[in-house]
A and B are shown apart, each in its own frame.
Chain A
């Protein structure tokens, strides 16, 4: 079955450590997105990519980095520069034609202690 997979579901890290969140899709989608979700703030866009080897900053990219070396994969690294990294992170993908729905992964809840 096609879908989008995020792993792990829960992640704990010590302050000051970088951590990488995985996002893999087998939907053959060109576009992929990363969002951060905090209570009352909705889904805020971190990075997005429309094609392999290319990505753009979203609204809250500071303290995060991404890569898009393969169409299927769009990993997100939360660096030590991110001042408040504890949050729920969602990855999504879609085809690039206008007016198409995005498919979301189940999310990764990151807790930094």
Chain B
């Protein structure tokens, strides 16, 4: 069963912050985050392996709450280059599945 992402779409102005949530009705063993520009391949952002783990680079970070089976991706001071569709994924016994995606549009 696919992880569920919210919101489905976000529109921001440059410099604003956004949070994208990912949850699962089944156990999350790890959480992957990817970003896809239109018509291109998804690009890896980060993986969180353990509950309580937080990671980040530049102004994009994520957290993983294993007990609640949830992960959140935080984008701060958004830039135009952050526009795209964000996917969370989870891997278990070799099967890597993704949520339905969150489309983020950053306007000048």
A joins B in a complex: yes
Provide the bound-state CA to CA distance between A40 and B43, in Å. Answer: 18
Answer whether A45 and B97 are a contact pair too, CB < 8 Å, given A99-B47, A101-B32.
yes
Provide the bound-state CA to CA distance between A98 and B92, in Å. Answer: 8
- Say if the beta carbon of B96 comes within 8 Å of chain A: yes
Interface string of A87-113 (1 = CB under 8 A from B): 000101010101111111111000000
Task: State the interface size on chain B (CB cutoff 8 A).
Answer: 25
Answer whether A99 and B99 are a contact pair too, CB < 8 Å, given A42-B2, A104-B42, A106-B40.
no
By the criterion CB–CB under 8 Å, are A98 and B49 in contact?
yes
Interface string of B38-59 (1 = CB under 8 A from A): 0111111001010000000000
Q: Which residues of B contact A (CB under 8 A)?
A: 2, 5, 8, 29-30, 32, 39-44, 47, 49, 87, 89, 91, 94-101
Q: Which residues of A contact B (CB under 8 A)?
A: 31, 33, 35, 40-45, 48, 50, 56, 58-59, 90, 92, 94, 96, 98-107
